[in-house]
A and B are shown apart, each in its own frame.
Chain A
Amino acid sequence: MVYVMIKELSPSADEVIIVTSSLMKDMTSKTDMYRANAIRVLCRITDGTLLTQIERYLKQAIVDKNPVVASAALVSGIHLLQTNPEIVKRWSNEVQEAVQSRAALVQFHALALLHQVRQNDRLAVNKLVSSLTRGSVRSPIAQCLLIRYTSQVIRESANNTQTGDRPFYDFLEGCLRHKAEMVIFEAARAITELNGVTSRELTPAITVLQLFLSSFKPVLRFAAVRTLNKVAMTHPMAVTNCNIDMESLISDQNRSIATLAITTLLKTGNESSVDRLMKQITNFMSDIADEFKIVVVEAIRSLCLKFPLKHRSLMNFLSNILREEGGFEYKKAIVDSIVILIRDIPEAKETGLLHLCEFIEDCEFTYLSTQILHFLGIEGPKTSDPSKYIRYIYNRMHLENATVWAGAVSTLAKFGAMVDGLKPHVFVLLRRCLFDTDEVRDRATLYLNTLGGDGAVVETGADVKEFLFGSLDIPLMNLENSLKNYEPSEKPFDISSVPKEVKIQPLAEKKAPGKKPTGLGAPPPSPSSTVDAYEKLLSSIPEFANFGKLFKSSPPVELTEAETEYAVNVVKHIFDGHVVFQYNCTNTIPEQLLENVIVIVDASEAEEFAEVASKPLRSLPYDSPGQTFVAFQKPDGVPAVGKFSNMLRFIVKEVDPSTGVAEDDGVEDEYQLEDLEVVAADYMLKVGVSNFRNAWESMGADFERVDEYGLGPRDSLAEAVNAVVDLLGMQPCEGTEVVSPNSRSHTCLLSGVYIGNVKVLVRLQFGLDGPKDVAMKLAVRSEDETVSDAIHEIVASG
């Protein structure tokens, strides 16, 4: 009992010398139980030095005749591997002996330890597995472990032999006939998880799982149905034999089993069984919790997409359950499913839209109502008889709450805009709204005026449509910030000036240079700021005020290594005709105060740049970051590149740390910083687009440039992709920067805004040509052909 106490308290070894020495004595005592427990406790509280002292005893314990002691030592070894691997690895011989032990669990523990020790050595694991699969493994749990290691070996020896049989597959199949259920199940599961498993290989495993499905033990049924569910995702045909057994599971007491059975059946069902399945599911849905219901809804959606002819019954089912009680997530899932079905199965559109309209009649979730109204606005006008939906929409304007009214008015206007025949009717309705509450009245006025409420039935202009109904690319946060910063003046607010990127770091306070540090609680050296802050800062400096609009600020680049006396990083601000380098400096030496800090920049390797101004930093006391600026002129609109070497020059004054008073005399000193490059990627703003294909189509091929490049030998496809993305400095869209392993080709979609506010879209296709060579096809679309050419230039020279 005391052992348990010590383990719970787990003190560190140096605190409790007495306890450890008693424990060490116990390790050699005659009573086996004491030995075992002392080992376990000691290994829990030991550290490296103590471990070497007791190592001898532990090695003896591993091969001890008493299985309890041996198990204790081995399990402790497994734990110790995390902290002192080298010591444990020295015990390999003893552990090897223990694997041959007659005691069942000792073998299990020894096997686990040996595998962990030799994990990274593939050959050793292979040998271990081969010897044991031929020998005898005494306990079922050790057999399970062996099955897991075997699957690992199979996975790593990925090459299938000529005969098509994997190594060790026979062993796994043999295990399917073992006595213990856990071994059978582990083997069946391992077979189903083999990479690229064929139906022939799966059949014995599935037969076994099918037997489990009808067991009286819920655990077996659950395990079997979960595995079959997984198999059904990739090999639905293989699982169809089990359908009958699974149908009986739908009414199982355990709801998890029932849900898994239903979802599997939905995946493996064929068209004829769909109706029968639907009937059973309807009874079932009322019993289960919301989270299960969502899973079922998703499965029904995929089923409907698989069998589009059945959309009527499935759609009816979905709308029925929509009408019943349910939480927000659940109803949202159903609405999403209906929307997807409408989009992809044209025949289902009419019925689907009507179902949705009926739903919003008494939907309690505002969010869903507005989503549906918006969706109606998009899809409704395209149907054969849009006027059907007007009634539903108009009703929304007088019931419900303000958000829904607003949505309804917008949708109504959209109908009017898209469908010319309906325009006069829509205008009548909109005019009625002019006497309504704020949201409705303002919107109605806007729409009436822009859509030409004089009653003429004319085609609505495309730009009007775009203005009213086009989507807003700008993140709302940035719009809010820009509006707050906008001061009312003659110049109207320019929406294109709102930055499109979302900067996650919050605005940090900047200390004005010259203030004494406020003690140990000083803020971190380089504050990160949003684009707004940079703009404000730069425009407050008179020398830079007339550079125009800031195009892009790069993230801070370190110019010094960590732990140096002065930490400096630089932010590159790109304007149309100028570049400003902002050097954020921090002095980490308490005994020094720096004054008149400037950076001498040598631009000899950057011919197109000419220095025009610099702003020194008056004073840089300890631990209070400050900024100094150097501005260069460059040719307008040209993405000039160059390399700059930097030297920090300042006057250093000694400071008495106790009083904080600086001396009067100072010494001039210099400090070399690292070089700084301005590259082509600096002229590109990373701006993502949510739907690349739409943007690509709408950009038009007028200024498209396509070319092919060989990138030469590369480490991997992923490395080549990353290199090109970094070189261009554009934003990868739709997750295309992630290259799946082992793929021989990849398409990457990039978007950005080039200097001069030109939108650019790039489609890169990579292919592995031979073992290492990477070939790339680059297609660029932009609004300006010089820009497209420029992009190709960048890649060609990069």
Chain B
Amino acid sequence: MKRSKVDAKPMGVPTVVDIKMQLHYRVALHYVSGSCPSIRNILLLDSEGNRVAVKYYSDDWLTNSAKEAFEKALFSKTQKTNARTEAEIAMFENHIIVYKFVQDLHFFVTGAEGENELILVTVLQGFFDAVGLLLRGTVEKKEALENLDLILLCLDEIVDGGIILETDASAIAGKVASHSVYEAAPLSEQTITHALATAREHLARSLLK
């Protein structure tokens, strides 16, 4: 950020820096206010900052290297804080990030600077608890990696393209679970089986005629 020598104004009048900060916040708020709360990314990193599962919903990070740089920087900034009992919050590169740690996993949710922080925390909590339900209580990296498909489905059910779909952990877990029941028979097979079944039916009927 550049600082410039400014002619000081008489007391009571905000200085240029105040106005800049205020403008920045106001612009961010104006962009947000009157618009749907949107999530910029959800990250699940391990205790060394490597990715377990991530999903980006914003154009702020277009290339993979930009994303990785962000993750690395964010991780090192929040590494030393204690976010195990309560969700913590930080401002970083014009984003608001809420985060929570458990065992060797770090959960992050990022939003715009003017976003309502409590909405972000609700999303974080929903994600956190849903993962807890899905991994049946053992929330640690090994378990997460073994059930990566569940985690990815979970991410998909929480936010769609930046818009919040669901924040209740049991509802999320329920949706993911119902997916995995049908997981054995993937989509195309299903329709093909159905087609085959219809064909068999037709054949049987024509034979019987």
Contact = CB atoms under 8 A, between A and B. Distances in A.
A219 B175 contact: no
Contacts of A31: 182
Contacts of B117: 185, 219, 222-223
B82 A25 contact: no
A373 to B, nearest CB: 16
A25 B198 CA distance: 15
Interface string A90-132: 0000000000000001000100100010000000000000000
Contacts of A336: 3-5
Interface string B75-100: 00000011000111111000000100
A186 interface: yes
Contacts of B137: none
Nearest to A71: B165
A448 interface: no
Interface in A291-339: 294, 298, 301-302, 305-308, 329, 332-333, 336, 339
A294 B3 contact: yes
A4 B156 CA distance: 7
A339 B3 CA distance: 13
What does DSSP make chain B's interface, helix, strand, loop or mixed?
A: mixed
Contacts of B81: 253-254
Nearest to B12: A306
User: Interface size class for chain B?
Assistant: 35 or more
A676 interface: no
Contact of B161 (A4, A79, A307, A343): A79
Contact of B88 (A79, A254, A343): A254
A148 interface: yes
B60 interface: no
B179 A1 contact: yes
B86 A22 contact: no
Contact of B35 (A79, A148, A234, A256): A148
A218 interface: yes
Contacts of A630: none
A612 interface: no
Interface stretch (B64-72, B138-146, B186-194): B186-194
Contacts of B98: 219
A389 interface: no
Contact of B87 (A33, A68, A217, A233): A217
B119 A149 contact: no
A306 B3 contact: no
Nearest to A301: B15
A104 B173 CA distance: 18
Nearest to A260: B91
A178 to B, nearest CB: 12
Given A233-B22, A306-B12, A333-B3, A152 B163 contact: no
A141 B22 CA distance: 26
Given A186-B116, A219-B88, A222-B117, A145 B3 contact: no
A182 B117 CA distance: 8
Contact of B119 (A7, A105, A144): A144
Nearest to B83: A218
Interface string B160-188: 11011111000000010011001100111
A295 to B, nearest CB: 8
* Contact residues on A (Cβ < 8 Å of other chain), bracket: 35 or more
Residue with the greatest number of chain B CB neighbours at <10 A, chosen from A26, A298, A308:
A298
B122 interface: yes
Interface string B11-55: 110110110011001100100111111000000000000000000
Given A33-B175, A218-B86, A302 B122 contact: no
A302 B17 CA distance: 9
Nearest to B155: A4
Interface in A42-63: 44
B69 to A, nearest CB: 18
Contacts of A44: 161
A667 B146 CA distance: 80
A230 B22 contact: yes
B179 A298 contact: no
B116 A182 contact: yes
B152 to A, nearest CB: 6
B18 to A, nearest CB: 5
B188 A219 contact: no
B191 A141 contact: no
A40 B156 CA distance: 11
Contact of B186 (A2, A217, A219, A339): A2
A78 B9 CA distance: 47
A218 B88 contact: yes
Contact of B6 (A71, A148, A333, A340): A340
B102 interface: no
A75 B116 contact: no
A181 interface: yes
B204 interface: no
Given A68-B175, A148-B35, A256 B119 contact: no
A751 interface: no
Contacts of B153: 1, 4
A26 B32 CA distance: 36
Given A112-B36, A302-B14, A185 B175 contact: no
A525 to B, nearest CB: 32
B201 interface: no
B107 to A, nearest CB: 14
B34 A148 contact: yes
A149 B34 contact: yes
Given A218-B87, A233-B18, A233-B22, A145 B37 contact: yes
B104 interface: no
Contacts of B1: 294
Contacts of A116: 36
Interface string B113-156: 00011110110000000000000000000000000010011001
A109 B161 CA distance: 13
Contacts of B82: 253
Interface in A316-374: 329, 332-333, 336, 339-340, 343-344
B208 interface: no
B118 A223 contact: yes
Contact of A216 (B86, B118, B160, B186): B86
Interface string A181-196: 1100110011001000
Contacts of B175: 33, 68
Contacts of A302: 14-15, 17-18
Contact of A298 (B3, B29, B91): B3
Contacts of A301: 15
A145 B175 CA distance: 25
A22 B165 contact: no
Contact of B116 (A189, A234, A307, A333): A189
B8 interface: yes
Contacts of B33: 148, 151-152, 190, 193
Contacts of A343: 8
A193 B29 contact: yes
A269 to B, nearest CB: 13
A145 B38 CA distance: 11
13 contacts: A4-B153, A22-B187, A33-B179, A68-B175, A116-B36, A141-B167, A149-B34, A219-B118, A230-B25, A294-B3, A298-B17, A302-B15, A306-B11
Instruction: Across the A-B interface, give the 9 residue pairs with the lowest CB-CB distance, nearest first.
Output: A182-B118, A152-B34, A306-B11, A223-B117, A344-B8, A2-B187, A112-B36, A222-B89, A219-B89
Interface of B: 1, 3-6, 8-9, 11-12, 14-15, 17-18, 21-22, 25-26, 29, 32-37, 81-82, 86-91, 98, 116-119, 121-122, 149, 152-153, 156, 160-161, 163-167, 175, 178-179, 182-183, 186-188, 191
Given A31-B182, A71-B166, 6 more contacts: A68-B175, A141-B167, A149-B34, A182-B116, A219-B86, A254-B89
